[in-house]
Amino acid sequence: VTLVETLPKGLDLVQLKGEPPPTGNAPTYTWKIGDLPAGATRVIRYQVLAESEGEHTITGEARSGTLRREATTTIKVGEPGMKVTVAGPEKAEALKAVTYRIVVSNPGSVPLGSVRLETDLPAQVAFEGATGGGSLRGKSVSWSLGNIAPGSSREVTLSVRA
């Protein structure tokens, strides 16, 4: 039995997990499996690196003598993205609290997982409060924002006093 895998443009073979190395060069790789008893299964595991966003179809063909079976699988590759904006006054009056609006957005095409936002306060600035579950530890304020879907955002505020 021989397995022939053809990778589409945009996917590169980067790592084999405990498998014998294939012969051939991109985009087609061949593994010589050898004899396979009736009812038996052999799995070849490998990793690919996606160079571009979009749908990529991998084609595999098992060959034994004149017998051939083909299978395909499609991988959807997305582009991650994160944008952080801060809005608030550039100047503040002494001993007067000011509030800053912080927005973390996902302009990408895949979800962002377990997003954490953190900011350090200057020594001369006192923490007054935060929305969205923000908490102070030392001079650092942090938020656990969770997952952010593509096209979505999370907004928090931070109030401080100089």
Residue 15 pLDDT:
66
* pLDDT for residue 17: 67
* Mean pLDDT of successive 10-residue stretches along the chain, which has 162 residues: 94 78 89 91 89 93 95 92 96 91 96 96 95 96 97 97 90
Count of C-beta atoms within a 10 Å radius of residue 108: 18
pTM of the model: 0.68
